[in-house]
């Protein structure tokens, strides 16, 4: 997800977005990332080796997505401390990881869950002491577990969202909700694909691959060939949500991979759009914080993450940005029935496999990226 997408989401209306993100009470599968059942007590034991809070410099630095630096995300932190954190903005997960491997050392960073093993193997991060995070017990337990690596809580999950197909109901006729609409020759020239190697994963689910996130060469080559053959229906690949939303509104595109925010934007324009719940399952992403080694603001960093994990932050996130939050204490009472239906907010298992497929660690990421480049070049 790019910084632009985070910033774009702020343009969505308060009334619509308060409903969109209020799915924190749902559960999600703990897939990938070397998930374990319990957190090691090692991090808590090491906490005593850090100076007390009032002996830390308090000059917290956060490597963050643009748009997430607003004080409303960490009001409890600001009420306790006078000094606002310094923010440096990341653009992509791989760029953030690379910058820190190159020597940059903020106190905290805000990556996606699938990248946790890379941060650990790069010797960049340390476990959290969850006893210092008062809101930790209120966070979605399955997402918390998915944010562990080898049973250790290296990541505190805070925000998440869906990825699925969106289509113009007034232009498109379907017999069932399926990712196969992504390749439908009836709508050639009206379909857009997201410029991302995740297309190979989607093709894997469509074609019944057992583990589309970890395909060996033979399966990966088959999915590459499948996409190359289907590519003739594609008008273009999109990388900017703003551009996609404009194409949907203008009628250039009727069918596309999309984040939920695009569906909300289209509804604002009074377009008859459907955010699909495909029979093969939606995808989802989850982000949160990692704690860099060597920080001199160990306790301040925990306070900051605790503020982000609070119901107060959750309400702002879902009201103003349209993303889900992992805190399960958010009020779910006043839900727009249209949004409840579109996002299955009344189903507490909606984030579980096989209904939803969370993005996960891919040991063969480079092979997927190479195959995707070959699809685009074909």
Q: Are 35 and 319 in contact (CB under 8 A)?
A: no
Pick from 161, 181, 163: which is nearest to 172 by CA? Answer: 181
Domains of the chain by residue range: 3-160+284-358, 164-279+363-377
Round to whole Å and give the CA distance between 258 and 329.
Answer: 28
Q: Is 151 exposed, middle or buried (0-12, 13-18, 19+ CB in 10 A)?
A: middle
Pick from 262, 289, 285: which is nearest to 274 by CA? Answer: 262
Q: Are 318 and 192 in contact (CB under 8 A)?
A: no
What is the torsional sign of CA 28, 31, 35, 37?
Answer: positive
Q: Are 17 and 78 in contact (CB under 8 A)?
A: no
Q: Are strands 61-65 and 108-109 parallel, antiparallel or unpaired?
A: parallel
Q: Are 113 and 154 in contact (CB under 8 A)?
A: no
Round to whole Å and give the CA distance between 163 and 181.
Answer: 15
**3-class secondary-structure state, position 192:** strand
Phi-psi region of 150 (alpha: psi -120 to 50; beta: other; left: phi over 0): left
Alpha helices, DSSP H only, in 156-216? 198-206
Q: Find the angle CA(88)-CA(196)-CA(231) to the nearest 5 degrees.
A: 155
Q: Given 3.40.1740.10, 3.40.50.970, 3.50.50.60, 3.40.190.10, which CATH number is that of 164-279+363-377?
A: 3.40.190.10
Phi-psi region of 294 (alpha: psi -120 to 50; beta: other; left: phi over 0): left
Q: At 244, list the tokens.
A: 């996609």
Q: Given 3.40.640.10, 3.40.50.720, 3.90.420.10, 3.40.190.10, which CATH number is that of 3-160+284-358?
A: 3.40.190.10
Q: Find where tokens 């993100």 sit.
A: 21
Share of the chain above pLDDT 90, in %: 67
Q: Is 119 exposed, middle or buried (0-12, 13-18, 19+ CB in 10 A)?
A: buried
What is the torsional sign of CA 128, 132, 136, 141?
Answer: positive
Residues of the chain predicted below pLDDT 70: 1-45, 319, 322, 332-341, 344-348
Measured in degrees and rounded to the nearest 5, phi and psi for residue 283 equal -100, 165
**pTM (predicted TM-score):** 0.81
Round to whole Å and give the CA distance between 320 and 13.
Answer: 7
Q: Is 253 exposed, middle or buried (0-12, 13-18, 19+ CB in 10 A)?
A: buried
Q: Are 32 and 146 in contact (CB under 8 A)?
A: yes
- Which segments within the chain are labelled E, that is strand? 61-65, 86-90, 108-109, 125-126, 155-168, 191-194, 234-238, 255-259, 273-275, 282-292, 324-325, 356-358
Q: Is 185 exposed, middle or buried (0-12, 13-18, 19+ CB in 10 A)?
A: exposed
Element (H, E) at 241: helix 241-250
């Amino acid at each position: 997800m790019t910084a632009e997408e985070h910033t774009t989401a702020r343009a969505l209306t308060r009334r619509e977005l308060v409903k969109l993100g209020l799915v924190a009470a749902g559960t999600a599968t703990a897939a990938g990332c070397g998930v374990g059942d319990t957190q090691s007590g090692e991090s808590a034991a090491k906490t005593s080796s850090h100076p007390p809070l009032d002996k830390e410099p308090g000059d917290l630095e956060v490597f963050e997505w643009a748009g997430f630096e607003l004080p409303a995300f960490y009001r409890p932190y600001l009420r306790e401390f006078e000094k606002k954190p310094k923010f440096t903005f990341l653009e992509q997960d791989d760029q953030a990881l690379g910058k820190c491997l190159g020597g940059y050392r903020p106190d905290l960073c805000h990556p996606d869950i699938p990248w946790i093993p890379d941060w650990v193997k790069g010797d960049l991060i340390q476990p959290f002491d969850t006893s210092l995070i008062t809101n930790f017990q209120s966070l979605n337990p399955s997402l918390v577990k998915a944010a562990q690596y080898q049973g250790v809580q290296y990541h505190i999950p805070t925000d998440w969202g869906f990825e699925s197909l969106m289509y113009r109901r007034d232009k498109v006729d379907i017999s069932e909700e399926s990712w196969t609409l992504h390749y439908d020759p009836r709508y050639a020239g009206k379909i857009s694909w997201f410029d991302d190697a995740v297309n190979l994963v989607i093709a894997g689910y469509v074609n019944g691959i057992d583990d589309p996130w970890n395909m060996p060469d033979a399966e990966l080559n088959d999915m590459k060939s499948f996409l190359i053959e289907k590519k003739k229906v594609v008008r273009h690949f999109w990388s900017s949500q703003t551009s996609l939303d404009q194409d949907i509104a203008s009628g250039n595109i009727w069918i596309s991979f999309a984040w939920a925010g695009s569906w909300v934007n289209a509804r604002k324009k009074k377009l008859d759009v459907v955010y699909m719940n495909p029979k093969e399952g939606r995808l989802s992403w989850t982000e949160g914080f990692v704690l860099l080694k060597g920080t001199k603001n160990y306790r301040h960093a925990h306070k900051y993450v605790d503020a982000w994990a609070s119901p107060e932050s959750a309400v702002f996130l879902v009201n103003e940005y349209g993303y889900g939050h992992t805190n399960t204490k958010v009020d779910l009472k006043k839900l727009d029935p249209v949004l409840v239906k579109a996002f299955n907010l009344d189903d507490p298992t909606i984030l579980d496999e096989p209904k939803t497929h969370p993005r996960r660690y891919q040991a063969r990421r480079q092979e997927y990226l190479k195959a995707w480049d070959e699809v685009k070049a074909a």
